[in-house]
């Protein structure tokens, strides 16, 4: 059974032949996608051996083992065949950026890349912009007390310029106007306010942009 975060990741994936789930842990996401016939084959990848053993057990119990390849690898390093879709979720920005950067030519050839970073979303968006990846969709999820932003990206070969609101809030998310988005903007506002308090500053460009989007939602 997928949690809410993984269910929203699954919804963003279009049908494809081969998906690699980097940092798959127990393999719940690719196995669910196989059951739903959204993907035909799964490459279940983790840097650690223990989660892979658990994924193998889960695939065997689900009678899906023949559709799975299990690899212990740091990203794409130990898997050289083409894939249609890559998922990198549940990691920090630095790890995600490093995984993409070390095999960036191969990531440029992947049709759909799903990213979910637990840290520094603004830095991840800036990294994608600098490397000519476009953010084609974003989804906001609140699972228990935590907010998650899921991005679908693809390589475009040209640099798409993102401004401050795109980097800090999201080029797709910033057009969203609902209660969940309002709660998320308040969350961002409080984080930035705490940062400024520690630096003994009263305001910043970032907090002004967040406040402007909050005002739009509150008056609509």
3-state secondary structure of 55: helix
In order along its 220 residues, the chain shows pLDDT tens digits of 799 999 999 999 999 999 999 999 999 999 999 999 999 999 999 999 999 999 999 999 999 999 999 999 999 999 999 999 999 999 999 999 999 999 999 999 999 999 999 999 999 999 999 999 999 999 999 998 999 999 999 999 999 999 999 999 999 999 999 999 999 999 999 999 888 887 766 678 999 999 999 998 876 6
Average pLDDT in the chain: 95
Of 136, 160, 184, at which residue does a domain stop? 160
The Cα–Cα gap between 66 and 60 comes to 9
For residue 61, tell me if it sits in a domain: yes
For residue 117, tell me if it sits in a domain: yes
For residue 168, tell me if it sits in a domain: no
Same domain? 126 vs 191? no
The Cα–Cα gap between 207 and 29 comes to 35
Same domain? 192 vs 146? no
Split into its structural domains, the chain has a count of 2
CATH assignment at residue 155: 3.40.50.150
For residue 206, tell me if it sits in a domain: yes
For residue 183, tell me if it sits in a domain: yes
Same domain? 113 vs 203? no
The Cα–Cα gap between 125 and 135 comes to 8
Same domain? 212 vs 108? no
Same domain? 88 vs 59? yes
Same domain? 133 vs 183? no
Same domain? 180 vs 134? no
Segments forming the whole domain that contains residue 75: 4-160
Which class for 146: exposed (0-12), middle (13-18), buried (19 or more C-beta within 10 A)?
Answer: exposed
């Amino acid at each position: 059974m997928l949690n809410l975060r993984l269910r929203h990741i699954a919804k963003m994936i279009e049908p494809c032949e081969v998906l690699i789930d980097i940092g798959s842990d127990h393999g719940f996401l690719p196995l669910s996608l196989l059951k739903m016939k959204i993907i035909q084959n799964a490459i279940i990848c983790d840097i650690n051996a223990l989660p892979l053993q658990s994924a193998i057990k889960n695939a065997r119990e689900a009678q899906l083992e023949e559709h799975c390849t299990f690899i212990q690898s740091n990203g794409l390093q130990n898997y050289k065949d083409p894939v249609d879709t890559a998922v990198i979720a549940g990691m920090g920005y630095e790890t995600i950026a490093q995984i993409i950067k070390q095999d960036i030519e191969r990531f440029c050839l992947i049709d759909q890349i799903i990213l979910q970073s637990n840290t520094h979303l603004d830095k991840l968006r800036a990294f994608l912009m600098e490397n000519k990846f476009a953010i084609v969709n974003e989804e906001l999820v609140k699972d228990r007390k935590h907010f998650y932003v899921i991005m679908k990206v693809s390589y475009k070969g040209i640099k798409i310029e993102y401004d401050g609101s795109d980097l800090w809030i999201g080029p797709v998310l910033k057009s969203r106007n609902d209660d969940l988005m309002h709660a998320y903007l308040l969350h961002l506002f409080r984080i930035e306010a705490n940062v400024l308090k520690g630096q003994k500053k009263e305001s910043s460009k970032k907090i002004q942009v967040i406040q402007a989007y909050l005002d739009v939602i509150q008056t609509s």
